[in-house]
Amino acid sequence: MKTTTKIKKMNNAITEVFEALSRVILSLLLGVLLIALLWATIETFLELRAQFDHGVHEMLKVAMVNSLGILAILEVFKTGLAYFASGRVKVTYIIDTVIVVILTELIMFWFKDVGYEKILLAITLILSLIVARILTIRFSPGRKKSEQTGVASFKAA
């Protein structure tokens, strides 16, 4: 009986150390992401200035592609912040990030000569991720709890 309590205490201590190290590493990663966001924003303005002589079409291309890349970084940052807030990573944040990255690739296809099979593959992937996102929201554990409490409060009334 004493050995099981010692093992439980040791497991709790290991878990606390792991969580503390995870938070330190995640904090460092979030700092790197902030620096990357700042750098990407500055780089976008510099590229826009360089494309000024090439016309509006090239400037819009740079603005769209770089903005979507920055949004993808923001989604990763949001995922990290969500981990700090709730202690877990939400699947919807990961799916949102992948959707933004694939949309960036799809928009870059507009400016390149890409075969239809690659475009169809990207569209299929985006649609699959949208379905996955809908399913993760529909069948999330938090939603089931709120529906159960809503039903219980409805019955009580």
- Asked if the structure places residue 142 within a domain, the reply is no
Is 20 among the domain residues? Answer: yes
Question: According to the model, what pLDDT value does residue 108 have?
Answer: 77
Prediction pTM value: 0.68
pLDDT of residue 41: 94
Residue 19 belongs to some domain of the structure: yes
| Domain membership flag for residue 152 | no
What does the pLDDT profile of the chain (157 residues) look like in tens digits?
577 888 888 888 898 898 889 889 999 999 999 999 999 999 999 998 888 888 888 888 888 888 888 988 888 888 888 888 887 777 888 888 888 888 877 877 777 778 888 888 888 988 998 998 898 888 877 666 655 555 444 444 4
Q: Is residue 156 part of a domain?
A: no
Which domain range does residue 99 map to? Answer: 2-137
Structure tokens at 52: 């000024």
Q: What pLDDT is recorded for position 156? A: 44
Q: Is the distance from CB of 134 to CB of 126 less than 8 angstroms?
A: no
Has residue 22 been placed in a domain? Answer: yes
Closest CA to 126 of 146, 98, 107: 98
Give the per-residue pLDDT at 90.
Answer: 78
Report if residue 6 sits inside a domain: yes
Structural domain includes residue 154: no
Are 95 and 134 in contact, with CB atoms under 8 Å apart?
no
What's the number of domains the chain is made of? Answer: 1
Write out the DSSP string of the chain.
-HHHHHHHHHHHHHHHHHHHHHHHHHHHHHHHHHHHHHHHHHHHHHHHHHTGGG-HHHHHHHHHHHHHHHHHHHHHHHHHHHHHHHSS--HHHHHHHHHHHHHHHHHHHHTS---HHHHHHHHHHHHHHHHHHHHHHHT-HHHHHHHHHHHHHHHH-
